[in-house]
């Protein structure tokens, strides 16, 4: 995307939507709040996102997916990668006083039954994390079927550990997930 004033405004709106979903949820995030948070003119919202809140939410989910995919695509063994992801999530939760959650799981839980557009964006986000992790396991000697199954289970466990950590205000569930997943994923 070109670095124009419009592109920067659009990016600020998406970033603001993402941050607000993490702290307030999708349903608790109003468009006026997004516009104010982004310091953007209200008219720019519908100019850049004629589909309104749903379109903006979709882009926020895509941004979250891209950021998490970068973590999942880091170097190392499958266990090291997942261990690094869990450590990064633990830092994020602690630094954010357990107020930040995974925006993809939040949108899935809140809107998955109401909006096919958002459900599809969330499904694509999860797949974008499972696929590179599975590919890494295949590269480390697992069959494609086993790698796919383990990658799906690992992403599911990570998501659950984030939710439990927020509820308990402790990173202990994330550490338990790391202790379980790291050796399991690196086993030949």
Predicted pLDDT of residue 112: 83
Q: What is the pTM of this model?
A: 0.90
Reduce the secondary structure of the chain to three states and give it as a string: CCCCHHHHHHHHHHHHHHHHHHHHCCCCCCHHHHHHHHCCCHHHHHHHCCCHHHHHHHHHHHHHHHHHHHHHCCCCCHHHHHHHHHHHHHHHHHHCCCCCCCHHHHHHHHHCCCCHHHHHHHHHHHHHHHHHHHHHHHHCCCCHHHHHHHHHHHHHHHHHHHHHHHHHCCCHHHHHHHHHHHHHHHCC
Instruction: Give average pLDDT by consecutive 10-residue segment, the chain, 188 residues.
Output: 80 96 94 95 91 96 93 88 94 93 92 93 96 95 97 97 96 97 91
CATH number of 5-186: 1.20.1250.30, 1.10.3720.10, 1.10.357.10, 3.40.228.10? 1.10.357.10
Predicted pLDDT of residue 42: 86
Predicted pLDDT of residue 2: 59
Domain ranges of the chain: 5-186
């Amino acid at each position: 995307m070109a670095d124009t004033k419009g592109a920067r405004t659009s990016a600020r709106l998406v970033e603001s939507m993402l941050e607000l979903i993490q702290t307030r949820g999708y349903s608790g995030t109003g468009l006026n709040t997004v516009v104010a948070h982004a310091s953007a003119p209200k008219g720019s919202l519908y100019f850049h996102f004629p589909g309104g809140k749903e379109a903006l939410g979709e882009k926020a989910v895509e941004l979250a997916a891209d950021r998490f995919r970068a973590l999942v695509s880091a170097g190392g063994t499958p266990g090291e990668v997942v261990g690094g992801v869990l450590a990064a999530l633990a830092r994020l939760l602690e630094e954010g006083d357990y107020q930040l959650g995974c925006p993809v799981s939040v949108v899935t839980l809140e809107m998955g039954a109401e909006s096919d557009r958002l459900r599809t964006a969330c499904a694509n986000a999860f797949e974008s994390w499972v696929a590179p992790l599975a590919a890494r396991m295949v590269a480390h000697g697992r069959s494609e079927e086993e790698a796919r199954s383990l990658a799906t289970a690992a992403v599911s466990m990570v998501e659950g550990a984030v939710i439990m950590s927020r509820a308990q205000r402790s990173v202990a569930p994330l550490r338990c997930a790391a202790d379980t997943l790291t050796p399991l994923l690196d086993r030949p």
